[in-house]
Structure 1
C-alpha cells in the first residue's frame, strides 16, 4: 500500500501468490481441512496441486474415498462451476501417527520435490481424550510433519494450526509464543504409565497444570515444538478460537462437526439441554469457518518471513465480542421463527447459572427423568432404548465446556486487522478475514440454520 491508501503497482493479489505453487495439507478430511482444500482450489486457480493426506481404510480404495470426499456439500460450488479444478486435489496415502507419516517412497519424494507450502491442521480434537493418544497425534504427528518439511527442497512456508485456547492460564492472550516445559521423553513416560496403570484423573489434572484438558495441553506443547524445530523454515502459527459454521462460503452456514459450541447449540435447538454453567455475561469467542481459512491463506501470502515464528489469532473477543446470553437469546428467536426445525418450544427457558445444586436438580427433572421414562416406553414397544445414552452425551458435552462458559478471555487479534487493511478491495472481498466485520445478528441465524441443514438434515 502507498501512503495515500492506494495500491502500488507492485501489489500481488493473494490468488497470484499461489500461482505455480503446490500445497500439502494434513487433516484435510476434517471440518477445517476440507475448507482449506476447497478455498485454495476455488479461489486460487493458478495453483498447481493440492496434496491431501488421507488414511487408508479397509474395503475402500483411494479412488472411491476421493469420490465420496469430493461429493460432500462443501465442494458443491467447484462441482457446478469448475469441476476441472478437482484434478488439482491429489490424495496421498498416509497416517499422521505412523513412522514417516506412513508415506511410500514415491509419494514422499513427490512432496519433497514439489511442495512449497505445508498446512498442518491434523489433530486429535477430543477435549478430554487420554494424554497418550493426544500426545501421539498432536505432538508426535507434528514432529513427523516437521521431519518431512525439513527435507522439502522448495518450501516457502510451514503453517501449524493450533488453538487460541492453548494457554488459558492468561486472561489476556497475545499473538506470541508462551513457553512450555518440553521434556517430551518425560511427558511420554508419564502418559504411558498413566494409561497402563489406569491412574486416576486427579494425577493427570495435576500433570497438565493450568491447561483445561489434554487437547489444549498438547497443542501448547506442539506450538513450542514447532518453535524449537522449524530451523530456517519460514513458519507461522494460526490460533483460531471456537470454529463455527461458515458465514458466506463456500456454502452459507456449512458445518459438519458436532464439537464444542456447535454441539451445545444443536442440543439446545433439539430441546435436549435446559441449563448451562454460566452467568450469561461471559464472552465466548466464536469465529466462522471461512474467516479462519481466509486469514490463514492471506497470512501465508502476505507474511514477511523472519527467523522467528509469527503467531496469528483468528478470534473475535478483542474486536467484536459476543456474550453467552446473547447467543441463547438468538437461539430462542430462531426456535420461535422456525417451528419446523425440531427446535424446543421453550428454548427461551434455558437457564444460565453458576449454582451447581440447581444445575443438578434441573438436569435430573428436565433431562434425566424424561430420558429414563422415554427409554422405558421404547422397551415396552420392543424398540431400542436410546434416550438415556443421548442424555449422557449431552451432559458430558456440557460439562466439558464448563471451563469455557464460566469465564472470559481477551484474545488479541491485531495482526488480522493489519492483514485485512493491507489488502486491495477485491482481495478483501474474496478473502474476508477481519473479525470486526462480523454482524452477529445476521450471522447467528445462518449458523443455526446450518446446524439444521447439515447436521439435522432439515430444510427450512
Structure 2
C-alpha cells in the first residue's frame, strides 16, 4: 500500500495557487491517489461576474479532472474555495475563514506565484523602486528570480520551528505521464515558444545550442512535492530540506536536440493556419540576432500588415511579433546558460520510498524519453491550448505546402529583380551573366551530342 497516499487520506489541505498550472495538477493528483482526504481549501481571488463556486466548477470541468470524477464523484464537495488576495494584508481572508483554516488545516502547499519575469517590486514609491531595483537584484537576471530567493529566506527564518520543505523546479513543462501525457493549459515558457515556432512566427532565437534545456514535466514536480510533504511530516528533518526537481544532471537534453525534436514533430502534427512554415535556427551573437530579428521577424510582419491594410483588414501581425520578441528577450538569459544542481536530497527521498510509492509518485526523470515527451508536449499544445482538432491535420499539411510554394516564388522573384538591377548597373554583373549563359549553352550542346553517339 502507498504510504504517501495513506498519509494524505483524511487530511485537510490548503493549497495556494490552486487555479494555476501546477496547482491544478497537484489538486488532481491528491484526489486521484487519496480520494478519502477530508477537504482541500483553495485560495481564490474574487473575479467580477463569477462566484467562487463557479470558478471551482470551471476548474473541474477541464479534461485534467476526468479520471478524478470517476474515482471521486463528489469531488466538488471536497473543495472549499476561500476568497483571498495574496497582495493584501492577511491575504484579504475574512476573520471567519481564517479561524477555520487555522483550526482545521493539516498540510499547506504554497504554489502561488507570479510568473512574469519583469514584474516591478512593490515595496516603496514606484520612482524609488525603479532606481534601486538594479542594485537590489545584482547579478540576477530579473525580479522573478530575486523575489524567489527572498521568499526562501523568509521561509527559512520565520519557519524555523515548523516542518517545512522547499521544492525548486527548473523550467516546468507539460505533463509526462499523469493523468495523461502532454496536458498543459498556459503559454508560459516552452509552451509559448512551441506555439510561436509551430505557427511560423519564431524563426530565430539567440541561444547556446549545446546549453542544457533543463525542462521538467509538471507531474514530476508534483510527485516530488507530495513525497517531500509526506517525508517532512513523518520524519521531521532537523533543518529545512531543499529539493531540486531538475533534469539537467540526471537526463540532460540540450536546446539544439530539443529544437530538432520539436521541428520533427511539426512535420507529423502541424498547427493550423500557420503564418509561415515552421523553421528555426540559433544565433549566438547580438549582431546576428538583431539581423535575423529584422529579416525573419519584423520585416515579414510589416509586409503582411501592409497586405492586411490593403485588403481592408486590421493589421495585427507586427503587434504579435513585438510581443513574441519581448518574451524571447526575457528568456534569453535562461537559454544561454547551463546550471548544475545538487540532487542529493531528491535522491535520498527516492531511496526512502517503497516500491509502490516509487511507482505511484514517480519523480525519477532518468526514465524520461525526450523524443516521446516532446511529441506529446507538441500534441498537448495543439489540443489543449490551441483547441485544434486532429481531423484538421491533412488541411494543415496542405496549407504548409502552399506556404512553401509561395516562399519559393517570392525568392525567385526577388532574385530576378535584384539580378536585373545588377545587370543594368554593373558591367561585371553583365559579364558574369554572359559567362553563365555561355557555359550552360555549351553544356547542353555537349550533352545533346553525347546522347546521339552509337556504341
CA offsets 1:324-345 (integer angstroms, 9 cap, x no match): 0001110111011123555687
Return the alpha-carbon distance in structure 2 between the equivalents of residues 95 and 67 of structure 1.
20
Match of 1:54 in 2: 44
SS in 2 for 1:411: coil
Q: Which residue of 1 aligns with 2:113?
A: 123
Corresponding residue number in structure 1 for 2:5: 15
Tell me which residue corresponds to 2:342.
Answer: 412
Name stretches of at least 5 consecutive residues in structure 2 with no aligned partner.
391-455
Worse-superposed segment, 110-119 or 411-420: 411-420
SS in 2 for 1:370: helix
- Post-superposition shift, 1:95? 1.0
| Contact kept in structure 1, 2:211 and 2:254, CA below 8 Å | yes
Off by >6 Å, runs of 4+ in structure 1 = none
- Call closer, same or farther: CA 1:286–1:14 in 2, change over 3 Å: same
TM-score normalized by structure 2?
0.81
3-state SS of paired residue (2:327) = helix
Aligned match of 2:239: 308
Question: Which residue number in structure 2 is paired with residue 162 of structure 1?
Answer: none
Find the aligned partners of 2:370 and 2:244 in 1 and give their Cα distance. Answer: 19
**How many residues matched?**
388
The 1-side partners of 2:328 and 2:36 are apart by 44
Q: CA 1:392–1:302 in 2, change beyond 3 Å: closer, same or farther?
A: same
- Cα distance in 2 for residues equivalent to 1:13 and 1:343: 48
Q: Name the residue aligned to 1:350.
A: 280
Cα displacement string for residues 392-450 of structure 1 (whole angstroms, at most 9, x for unaligned residues): 11111111111011111012223222322332232222211111111112111111111
1:81 shift after superposition: 4.1
3-state secondary structure, aligned to 2:13? strand
Residue aligned with 1:366, SS? helix
Q: What is the Cα deviation at residue 259 of structure 1?
A: 1.1
More displaced 10-residue stretch of structure 1: 279-288 or 54-63: 54-63
Q: Indicate which of 6, 10, 14 corresponds to 1:24.
A: 14
Cα offsets for 1:136-168 (capped at 9, x unmatched): xxxxxxxxxxxxxxxxxxxxxxxxxxxxxxxxx
Instruction: Provide the aligned C-alpha RMSD in A.
Output: 1.9
Matched, 1:262 2:191: yes
Answer yes or no: is 1:37 the counterpart of 2:27: yes
Residue of structure 1 in register with 2:253 after alignment? 322
2:92 corresponds in structure 1 to 102
Tell me how far apart the structure 1 counterparts of residues 280 and 358 of structure 2 sit (CA, whole Å). Answer: 38
Q: 1:28, 1:52 within 8 Å by CA — same for their partners in 2?
A: yes
Contact 1:16 1:46 in 2 (8 A): no
Q: Distance in 2 between matches of 1:79 and 1:20?
A: 18
Partner residue of 1:280 out of 193, 209, 212: 209
Match of 2:168 in 1: 239
Quote the residue 2:434 is aligned against. none
Structure 1 equivalent of residue 296 of structure 2: 366
Contact 2:6 2:34 in 1 (8 A): yes
Q: Which residue of 2 aligns with 1:337?
A: 268
C-alpha contact (below 8 Å) 2:16/2:112 kept by paired residues: yes
Give SS of 2:334's match.
helix
Q: 1:76 aligns with which of 66, 73, 80?
A: 66
CA distance in 2, matches of 1:207, 1:57: 33
Helix, strand or coil at the partner of 1:441: helix
The answer to whether structure 1 residue 423 and structure 2 residue 392 are counterparts is no
Determine the C-alpha separation between the residues in 2 that align with 1:270 and 1:253.
Answer: 19
2:78 is aligned to: 88
Q: Which has the larger radius of gyration?
A: 2
Q: Which runs of 5+ in 1 are unaligned?
A: 1-10, 133-187
SS at match of 1:384: coil
Q: TM-score, normalised by structure 1?
A: 0.80
**How far apart in 1 are the matches of 2:47 and 2:4?**
36
- Tell whether the 8 Å contact from 2:199 to 2:271 is kept in structure 1 after alignment: no
Q: For 2:23 and 2:351, how far apart are their aligned partners in 1?
A: 26
What is the CA-CA distance between 1:12 and the residue it aligns to? 6.0
The answer to whether residue 311 in structure 2 is matched with residue 381 in structure 1 is yes
The 2-side partners of 1:81 and 1:12 are apart by 17
* Contact 1:23 1:117 (C-alpha < 8 Å) held by counterparts: yes
> 2:342 and 2:190 mapped to 1: Cα distance?
20
Distance in 1 (alpha carbons) for counterparts of 2:211 and 2:147: 26
Residue 138 (structure 1) aligns with: none
Once the two structures are superposed, residues 281-317 of structure 1 have per-residue CA deviations (whole angstroms, 9 ceiling, x without a partner) of 0002100000000000011112321342111111111
The one of 175, 195, 209 equivalent to 2:138 is 209
Matched, 1:271 2:200: yes
CA contact (8 A) 2:31 2:37 kept: yes
Contact 2:57 2:76 in 1 (8 A): no
Q: Per-residue deviation at 1:231?
A: 3.3
Task: Tell me if structure 1 keeps the 8 A contact 2:206–2:282.
Answer: yes
- How far apart in 2 are the matches of 1:43 and 1:361? 52
Contact 1:14–1:298 (Cα < 8 Å) also in 2: yes
Determine which structure has the larger helix proportion and give its number.
2
Greater mean alpha carbon deviation, residues 271-280 or residues 82-91 = 82-91
* Cα distance in 2 for residues equivalent to 1:296 and 1:262: 22
Question: Contact 1:315 / 1:412 at 8 angstroms: preserved in 2?
Answer: no
SS in 2 for 1:131: coil
Q: Is the 8 A contact 2:14 2:42 kept in 1?
A: yes
